[in-house]
Structure 1
Amino acid sequence: MIDHKDFMHGAALVAIADSEMFTALNRASVKYGHYVVNHDRHLFIKYNDGKGPGDYFFTFSGEDKERITSEAASLVFAVLVCGNEVVTGITREELSQLITLTISAASTVKVSAQQGRQLRISGPNGQLPLISRRSFPTRILDSGHGS
């Protein structure tokens, strides 16, 4: 039987593999959802099953935060799969603007995916500038900064 989380992660991975900027995909660790793309970009995929459009919540546990912050690579992303609505990716630096990565308490990030509108991504520490719904996977594959 195919596990549901494989379908959810597959939504992000297929979008990446279909990009002209894609060259390689590897599992990065024993942690499910941790991948290396193009040999230099570490992705931590999270998903929310919600039915869109609407708000999607993603909880980052203390263990999630430790894995994200301890990754030595400079290009680290949280990839957020919002049900069957949209996939987006944010840099580790952007994630750190939303939640405190240095504390072990769980923290939640919210993606507001209202129909026909850009994505609003927020957390207890603030909100990012609006992100285009069509920015994934280009946002993580283009340039050295992930912007």
Structure 2
Amino acid sequence: MKTQEKDLYHGAALTQVVEHESFKALNKATTKYGHYQINHDRRLIVKYTKGSSSPWSFTFQKEDVGVVADDISAGHSTYICLVCGDETVCALNEEQILQVIDLDGGTQWIKVEMPPKSSLRVKGSNGELSKTVPNNSFPKKLFR
């Protein structure tokens, strides 16, 4: 099977997940590409952008937003994983997701900025995170 570009970017995130000491299992959560179940109790949506420098922008179509909303309403610990080119991976937990996107809205966007020698600043169509996201918080954030 030919390797697609999206596989490389998703692999950058998933490799870090499976190498974490608390990792047990990785499965597809649904038929949607980039929607995973980790350790039977966590849901992860992986999105990527190829941009080589900050800021990185991510678009969440209505279907993407619906997947996140369904996972949260079903009681799953839900995360969004944003692969920022070949620079960094930014993971958002449920609380952070709700600050930056409107789960009842249509298409949404998230922008990740990485100022020099600083943590990640994240904002979206619904607002901005009140705190920065440390560069080293992924993947351990998924296993807390």
With the length of structure 1 as denominator, give the TM-score of the two structures.
0.90
- Conservation of the 8 A alpha-carbon contact between 1:41 and 1:73: no
Match of 1:66 in 2: 66
Aligned-residue offset at 1:134: 0.4
Correspondence 1:81 to 2:83 = yes
The 3-state SS of whatever aligns with 1:50 is coil
Q: List alignment gaps of at least 5 residues for structure 1.
A: 143-147
| Distance (whole Å) between structure 2 residues aligned to residue 107 and residue 36 of structure 1 | 23
For 1:110-125, what aligned pairs fall within 5 Å after superposition? 110-125=111-126
The percent identity for this pair of structures is: 38
Runs of 4+ in 1 over 2 A off after TM superposition: none
For 1:92-107, what aligned pairs fall within 5 Å after superposition? 92-104=94-106, 106-107=107-108
- Conservation of the 8 A alpha-carbon contact between 1:40 and 1:73: no
- Conservation of the 8 A alpha-carbon contact between 2:65 and 2:108: no
Query: For residues 106-127 of structure 1, what are the alpha-carbon distances to aligned partners after superposition, in whole Å with 9 as ceiling and x for unaligned?
Result: 1111000233210001113321
Aligned-residue offset at 1:93: 3.0
1:3 aligned partner, one-letter code? Q
Correspondence 1:18 to 2:19 = yes
| Distance (whole Å) between structure 2 residues aligned to residue 13 and residue 141 of structure 1 | 13
Q: List alignment gaps of at least 5 residues for structure 2.
A: none
- Conservation of the 8 A alpha-carbon contact between 1:80 and 1:87: yes
Match of 1:91 in 2: 93
Match of 2:3 in 1: 2
Aligned residue pairs, count = 140
Query: Pairwise CA RMSD of aligned residues?
Result: 1.1
The 3-state SS of whatever aligns with 1:134 is helix
Match of 2:46 in 1: 45
Greater helix proportion: 2
Query: For residues 43-91 of structure 1, what are the alpha-carbon distances to aligned partners after superposition, in whole Å with 9 as ceiling and x for unaligned?
Result: 0000010002x10001111111111111213301111000000012112
Aligned-residue offset at 1:140: 1.2
- Conservation of the 8 A alpha-carbon contact between 1:85 and 1:113: no
With the length of structure 2 as denominator, give the TM-score of the two structures.
0.92
